[in-house]
Structure 1
Amino acid sequence: MIKDRDLSKIKMLVMDVDGTLTDGKIYVGDSGEVFKAFNVRDGYRLIHMDEYNIIPVIITGKKSEILSKRAIELRIEEVHQGIDDKLKVLDEVIERYQLTYENVAYIGDDVNDLDCMKVCYLKASPADAIDEVLGVVDYVCKTNGGNGAVREFIDLIVKAQSREKKKMKVNQY
């Protein structure tokens, strides 16, 4: 449960893409072009992650030029695509930033997210994640993947961290 978690520890947010940042659908045009829809509310929070001192990280099983472009728009530097072993990449990323699992929040929706979820301090899923994921997360978003679930999770973390900072200031006097 999320109430027993100290969200001030969170320094990194790791996200899946298909089914989490998107609705999981892939649209294919007549000429074979591929389209994915990203939610602007998610994007608004993600583009401001540096203000919250939280490092945004994407680790996804698929490779997509669309995602590469979207990540540039959102100023997300840690983008890892076409990944079979997400936990291995997560380990490399947290080591590079000299963090631990205790500093990581993770949001995903499917079986390929479970290994990372099992080790991360705080884990969440969109409302429409698979049952196995829903059974291990600390927080199930009210919204589905691609419909603002990532924004909801970020808001939860940022608001909790803001309350913690206010408490610390009050305790200084």
Structure 2
Amino acid sequence: MEDKSYKEYLGQITTFIFDVDGVLTDGTVTLTTDGQLLRTMHVKDGFAMKTALLNGFNICIISGGTNEGVRVRLRDLGITDIYLGAHNKMEQFNEYLDIYEIRPENVLYMGDDVPDYPVMKEVGLPCCPQDAVQEIKSISKYVSHKNGGRGAVRDVIEQVLKVQGKWHSDFDAKSF
């Protein structure tokens, strides 16, 4: 039996869950002389996440990283469900779904590396950036044409919102 096209899943998505390093960032870390680890996030991904939140979607971040700068950036966008230091992502995934009574088939999860694998096997729409590792690409129903930290998050959010009629070309600037 042929698997459904990923586009058939877009209409049932209510929740986005993203990894950070390699998804919201390009996976590189810049080291400063005092030991700070600096990451770069794409503003278009941020705009898309804020747009999704304003349209009633749930957004959760589950990352093995512990950089508090990441938390600050995401909170500034309005994201409140942020799990950093997640070494077993299934625990945070299950907790999040239980708290908000979300069904796994309504979740789009974007990951890029092996720690994301268990959660991606459980969700309705597992996705990854173009530069994800092969193990993750092999279980993804959609592989973005964008790399991590370079618009992959915007790509999937925009597709979901467009299919659901919630992406508008005439945005109200007061909302942002």
TM-score (norm 2): 0.88
Q: Does 1:2 align with 2:9?
A: no
CA distance in 1, matches of 2:118, 2:132: 15
Among 102, 118, 126, the residue aligned to 2:105: 102
CA distance in 2, matches of 1:97, 1:41: 27
CA distance in 2, matches of 1:131, 1:152: 20
Shift of 1:122: 0.6
Q: Which amino acid aligns with 1:74?
A: L
Secondary structure in 2 aligned to 1:106? strand
Residue aligning to 2:21: 18
Residue aligning to 1:167: none
Residue aligning to 2:58: 55
In proportion to residue count, which structure has more helix?
1
1:131-146 correspondence runs (5 A)? 131-146=134-149
Q: Does 1:34 align with 2:31?
A: no
What's the RMSD between the two structures over aligned residues? 1.2
Q: How many residues align?
A: 162
CA distance in 2, matches of 1:55, 1:109: 20
Q: Which amino acid aligns with 1:97?
A: Y
CA distance in 2, matches of 1:111, 1:33: 25
TM-score (norm 1): 0.90
* 8 A contact 2:111–2:127 mirrored in 1: yes
Q: Does 1:80 align with 2:83?
A: yes
CA distance in 2, matches of 1:102, 1:33: 38
Residue aligning to 1:149: 152
Residue aligning to 2:49: 46
Q: Which amino acid aligns with 1:25?
A: T
Larger deviation, residues 67-76 vs 20-29: 67-76
Residue aligning to 2:95: 92
Q: Which amino acid aligns with 2:19?
A: D
CA distance in 2, matches of 1:4, 1:68: 32
Identity %: 33
Shift of 1:106: 0.3
